[in-house]
Chain A
Amino acid sequence: MAMLSVRDLTVRFDTHHGNVRAVDGVSFELEEGETLGLVGESGSGKSVTNLAMMGLIPQPPGVIEKGEVLYNGRDLLKLAPRELQALRGNEISMIFQDPMTSLNPLLTIGQQLREVLEIHKGQKRREASKHCAEALGDVGIPAPESRLEQYPHELSGGMRQRVMIAMALLCDPRVLIADEPTTALDVTIQAQILELMKDLQKRRGTAIILITHDLGVVAGMSDRVHVMYAGKLVETGGVSDLFRAPAHPYTAGLLGSVPRLNSDTSESLLSIPGAPPDLADLPPGCAFQPRCTISTEACMHTEPPLETVLDSNSKSARFVACPSSMRRDPAFGGKS
């Protein structure tokens, strides 16, 4: 049985400029010990999906329109605030995308880290301090004892991000949601952090959702990949299949835009033409249609459902929300 299952999650924001569905009918399952890579355009709802699962959407302006998030047979969306708090940062924890707003500027690093252990593990100050220093050392922060006494603004951007990571890993979570965990890190420290996450996964069977724009990191870490566009999942599949033969035109455009260490620097980098979608004013039919090179008349009227495609080389299922791509590519042999 899946460790966590999300069903038909739909989140709306009511703003002065209209109501937007930031997450629209997202369903997926997360298995024990697996890493799920979540990629997609900026503003496509990756963070909101995961914040909603953690009960962290500000309401208002947010509204959870519908959906279930099942963990251990319980729907997290229906838990009392206190029950949720007991899980958060403990069994289920999240590395937030914005370290500066998630760390309290008025408290030292040590105070903030210790609090987690005092609350969830009932540790005393000395014991907690020792653990916290170890945790900072694990994320590659030198002289951790002195760093515990410092305030967030005294740390570099990447160090603050690593403090967030250390905090999320303190209680050995069973589910780890990592939202852009390594954007502020150089590649050698990034490698060390990713190893740390893999270690935890091996030790505890932790399931990881890894949200990132870095497709190299996705390639190295994920078992499966989910692609989001305009609040919806548009393609899901095993990492190798999806990278080898992206089916959805957005996924293909995304993979085509990655700068590589051997690409031709005299050429412009490729990017997906057109503007990102305005969630308050989505076109009827497929949200990607205005930017799509293979769209047909039907794409302008009918919203494509997420359907299975037969992928002969793979055991893991592959879904894509684009009938045109299935017709176009013989590799997928039509619908199952």
Chain B
Amino acid sequence: MSSAPLLDVRDLHKHFPVGEKGLFGAHKQLLKAVNGVSFSLERGQCLGLVGESGCGKSTVARAVVGLHPATSGSIRFDGNELVGLSTRGWLPYRRKIQMIFQDPYASLDPRQTVSSILTEPSKIHGLSKPRERKLHAMQLLEAVGLNPRHINRYPHEFSGGQRQRIGIARALALEPELLICDEPVSALDVSIQAQIINLMGELKERFNLSYLFIAHDLAVVRHICDSVAVMYLGRVVEQASRDEIFNDPRHPYTKSLLSAVPVPDPELERARERIVLEGDVPSPLDPPPGCSFAPRCPWRHEVPDDRCNREIPELVERDGRKRSCFLPLAH
């Protein structure tokens, strides 16, 4: 394909100053939540973003939807640079890029009924008449597996999983082009989760939607994503197609991650072999000088001269896939 990717993120950084009131008096520390992230997403595709808790996935997502400004780097949407845009400059992209949040509790206004939660976005964007909006809202509820008759209820009258479905319906209300999904199904029971994943798959085909899909459930990622980017401590360490990642992982962190997926079978699960990571989890307040995975990598001693602890491996492309690691490929 010759056309530009729908979303192209290059060398993205997001640093937070922390610790003003800390033990360190006036001394400010810099927390490098996102520390040079690059990936791209083609139109109509679903890119999975996975990685350790706290490695910067949600921070990347928030930068892409403009919830907080990037420290440096580039985010191109359909060829247009988003980093550095003014609030007005952002306006056309607000509708095209929607987000589904990780935390259904915090992201729904408790004083609004489901009806107003679902109709407000289209009202703000001046779309359709009130009656159509209500009808549309009821269709959305049905689509996400909720009872349309519950449209006049408040968020607290729903269970955790039900609330997350409301959040999904709200994001779909504006028929966006790119949906940033931050753990959209982790609060759902597996049956509803299956329905939502199937629904997201259908919507993707029907409207040529694209997804950036953040999740911890790797079986779900494998099911819905076309390609996967794996993050560790503020950087992408591997990006490849779905089958390449799952059948032939090449970064040690990706390997450890896949080996830790629990199996829904009591005998197999208890007998399963895992790669157990030793060593301290590195901190984004004080990232290691070399590869950030090195302190915990079971294979770091196989690279000569302690290189992993001294030098940061770059994300290099080879055979159409990317990896940042000094180990030889055949490993």
- Residues of chain A at the chain B interface (Cβ within 8 Å): 13, 15, 17, 39-44, 47, 97-101, 140-143, 145-146, 149-150, 154-159, 161-162, 180, 183-191, 213-220, 239-240, 243, 253-255, 257-261, 263, 265, 268-272, 275-276, 278
Contacts and interface: CB of A to CB of B under 8 A. Distances in A.
A275 B189 CA distance: 13
Interface string B237-272: 000001000100000000011101111111111100
B260 A190 contact: yes
B83 interface: no
Contact of A269 (B218, B223, B270): B223
B53 A159 contact: yes
Interface string B149-187: 110110001111110000000000000000000010011
Contacts of B150: 17, 278
A191 B286 CA distance: 25
Q: Give the top 5 A-B pairs by smallest Cβ distance, nearest first.
A: A42-B161, A158-B53, A216-B262, A142-B283, A269-B194
A73 B274 CA distance: 42
B26 interface: no
A159 B150 CA distance: 33
B103 interface: yes
Contacts of B189: 39-42, 213, 254
Interface string B217-242: 11110110000000000000000001
Contact of A259 (B54, B106, B223, B260): B223
Interface of B: 16, 18-19, 21-23, 29, 50-54, 58-59, 102-103, 105-106, 145, 147, 149-150, 152-153, 157-162, 183, 186-195, 197-198, 201, 216-220, 222-223, 242, 246, 256-258, 260-270, 274, 276-277, 280-283, 285-286
A162 B158 CA distance: 25
B264 to A, nearest CB: 4
B269 A261 contact: no
Contact of B263 (A98, A191, A219): A219
A15 B157 contact: yes
Contacts of A213: 161, 187-190, 193
Contacts of A268: 194, 198, 201
A321 to B, nearest CB: 18
B190 A215 contact: yes
A156 B161 contact: no
Contacts of A219: 262-266, 268-270
B18 A215 contact: no
14 contacts: A17-B150, A140-B281, A143-B283, A146-B29, A157-B53, A157-B183, A216-B269, A217-B262, A219-B269, A254-B189, A254-B190, A257-B194, A269-B198, A271-B194
A334 to B, nearest CB: 26
A133 to B, nearest CB: 11
B175 to A, nearest CB: 22
Nearest to A61: B157
A15 B113 CA distance: 14
Contacts of A101: 105-106
A180 B187 contact: yes
B278 to A, nearest CB: 11
A100 B106 CA distance: 7
Nearest to B50: A186
A215 B280 contact: no
Contact of B58 (A40, A157, A254): A157
Contacts of B260: 187-188, 190-191
Contact of A272 (B102, B191, B256, B258): B191
Contact of B197 (A99, A155, A188, A269): A269
B185 to A, nearest CB: 9
A140 B197 CA distance: 30
A233 to B, nearest CB: 16
A296 to B, nearest CB: 23
A271 B191 contact: yes
Of B187, B265, B266, most A-chain CB atoms within 10 Å: B266
B218 A187 contact: yes
A270 B194 contact: yes
Contacts of A40: 189
B266 A243 contact: yes
B162 A158 contact: no
A311 to B, nearest CB: 15
B102 A184 contact: yes
B53 A184 contact: yes
A180 B198 contact: no
